[in-house]
A and B are shown apart, each in its own frame.
Chain A
């Protein structure tokens, strides 16, 4: 039993290396003394005898060194085996003792594993999305450039114009380099038809900014980025592996990209991507600095700060450079435009731009799950305490038999570490599974999702938590272990100390209930948000509708007529399919790709830019509103005849009509997308209320222009990459996809088809809905776990207290109390504890609501329904959890209790 003491001595013996030296010296000295004596006995003088003994022995110093070396090695080995034996012994003992109480063990392990797993999974997400730096050298110096134009709309942000891009590249001293990029989908000729590829079109400067390195060949360099240079492409590493089996001979070959013969000049280094996009192919942007400047903002720009330049300094310089745009490009930028739109250029750290506001949601979720872990820990601590109490007798006996306090503490620590280790391992498995699930669910909300996985960060995090938990649970009950001996003497029922322990336990339950209230309120608020959101009238009917994107190669479809002919033919063939009721296409897709914002001008209004509404302007094919189930309040859709005659009809949404012509009839009113170029387009139809930008957004203001502009009003090029929508009569529209592919292939095999999905999926993936469902899912999970754990904790504590007060109950019953009174008393006690917890929790819930604020949709943090519901739920829980123990308490046999006293 006193093995701790033994260990101590053994260790001390090893630590004192002096012992070893004395031993060796003594052994050798004995030998020499014996030999010397022998020679003396033969008649030598002691000196000569000693001399001869030494000579015969060899170098004492050398042998001594050798022996010390061997001795140290031995000591080390012994220490290792001793430690191993000790760990094995302790582990065996802990396992035996845990095995004796399987219910305790299973409960504790599962509770902890859930908490640890959830926390680790979420931590890994936060780590991948928020904490881990962007995968470029010195990522903290990377900045995103854009131009807010608050004069047009509060949150309108434009990218740079070509002119602005060159201006800043030339003049900005604070930027070491500036790169431009644009992304598109391209069509790459492959053996089996056309392959849809994600293309990043970038300036040579961007390679510099992101420090791109080739794995083979070269990257986009200034010579291939020059205007008029022959077309070249650099393959993304993944794409090269996937498509060409990592064959280096692809270098120098010619591929057909968008029907243009293009030379492959390189392969990017593995893992090189755009900050927020996966890229298959990289092509040069070839911006031409000699082109006349235009006030057209489409260049996405990333810069790298010069060493030693702060963001604020660079920002100040850019602001100055921006104000000089009108004098540098008088044809493109007017002072009045700059003033009215309050046009500026803004620098954002690239990481911030990529992550956007996802980090807030994630921190909230991590916090919530952390709370669950806290509850789980409180529960497990409780379990350990109950166990320590239950084993009080055993421990007392042990210590009476000579086990020191340390031995007892050590046992408890080993046990708790074992429980935590198993729980930690299970938790890691859970976390891994959860992350895999998350990546397949792909919440559109999370940038850098492909980087999410259980990495060593997550494992280290879980490991740290596990060890911490193990230490806490192991040592916490020990602080009371000192009383064990005393308790043995006082007949095992120290009332005062148990009263205090019950207080501790009660306090834990109050805490648990409080945390559960916080989490459940959060989940409840999210649920209401989600419910409200999913009952928002989107203004379109998404059932039974399939959508997909196509892309016509520029070389083959050069003008409006060619493009429109293809579109018309395609739609006609789609409509001829059995089961299809209508088909159409458009540049925009409600709740999907429905962005952009440009000033439009209504007839008879001032043309000052800042007075103009900024609206989305899709081009639509005939039949669009029918195919999407968008009702027309007035007028009609455009027809193919309109299109062929280059007619000037447009359709506007109800929200826009009401803003531009409040109280008037919108039909026939004039509208155009450019302040200087009459004639106007004429409104021929008005749709119902439509929320195409997002269900959480106000009703959309949009003008639906025809596919091709009316005579003499060229505002846009041919619409080569529209989204097609097909309304079907089947409930599984995706079953039509093969048919669609066949039709497309017959029409033109070089046209790729992408993103085939149902409209329902588009809606569920739209950011507002996806965010709400993702957070709701996780918060709901956290809330559910909190509820379950609180219930378990509450039940455990009530049962324990009832068990302790059996005697009292017996006496009460003996004195004539009715069983129902005793039951009521116990339930009431549980309600008292719960009530206190609820009160604490409500305060927390209000704080949580504030934090959630931005995630909520038309629900206030103080929503009475939610809070009342949560309170009701917990009260019910308290009654249920205490009912069993209460019933048991009321069935105590007084006689038996009195006998056992």
Chain B
């Protein structure tokens, strides 16, 4: 099964991934995979444009560093701006899912009172 991500949702997930500290793109991808039990079948490549766009917006900071296996890799760090963004996004996401859940659990109105 596969979930299509809404615009901006992927950004939110990446930001959430980065709350644990600086990560390179591969780590972000792996973390998402683990956390969602492979439910999100996004192309891994699509993480990178998202990461770069967020860098451009100043939500994350990118620096070259050395990976755990001693390779040059680009690490992304959450900025204060990014943290704020994550807060906003997750709040509205929570509201949205709550509203959707309410609708799905409601008893449908009967025809003709």
Contacts from A to B (Cβ < 8 Å): 23, 26-28, 30-31, 33-35, 56-60, 62-63, 66-67, 70-71, 73-74, 77
Contacts and interface: CB of A to CB of B under 8 A. Distances in A.
Given A27-B73, A31-B29, A63 B56 contact: no
Contacts of B24: 30-31
A70 B45 contact: no
Given A58-B44, A58-B46, A59-B45, 15 more contacts: A23-B74, A27-B73, A30-B24, A30-B25, A30-B67, A30-B72, A31-B25, A34-B26, A35-B26, A35-B44, A56-B43, A63-B46, A70-B53, A71-B52, A77-B56
B74 to A, nearest CB: 5
Interface string B21-62: 000111001000000000000011110110011011000000
29 contacts: A23-B74, A27-B48, A27-B73, A28-B48, A30-B24, A30-B67, A30-B72, A31-B26, A31-B44, A33-B71, A34-B26, A34-B67, A35-B44, A56-B44, A57-B43, A58-B43, A58-B46, A59-B45, A63-B46, A63-B49, A67-B48, A67-B49, A70-B49, A70-B53, A71-B52, A73-B56, A74-B52, A74-B55, A77-B56
A56 B30 CA distance: 12
A67 B53 CA distance: 9
Nearest to A34: B26
Would you call the interface of chain B mostly helix, strand, loop, or mixed?
A: helix
Interface in B55-113: 55-56, 67, 71-74
Contacts of B74: 23, 26-27, 30
Interface residues of B, number: 19
B57 to A, nearest CB: 10
Contacts of B29: 31
Contacts of A35: 26, 44
Contacts of A66: 48-49
Contacts of A73: 56
Contacts of B49: 63, 66-67, 70
- Report, nearest first, the 10 A-B pairs whose CB atoms are least far apart: A58-B43, A58-B45, A63-B45, A70-B52, A34-B26, A57-B45, A31-B26, A27-B74, A57-B44, A66-B49
Nearest to B28: A31
Nearest to A56: B44
A140 B29 CA distance: 74
A30 B71 contact: yes
B38 to A, nearest CB: 11
Contacts of B44: 31, 35, 56-58
A70 B72 CA distance: 21
B76 to A, nearest CB: 10
A394 to B, nearest CB: 39
Contact of B25 (A27, A33, A60): A27
Contacts of A67: 48-49, 52
Nearest to A66: B49
A33 B67 CA distance: 12
A440 B73 CA distance: 74
A33 B71 CA distance: 10
Contacts of A60: 45
Contacts of B45: 28, 57-60, 62-63
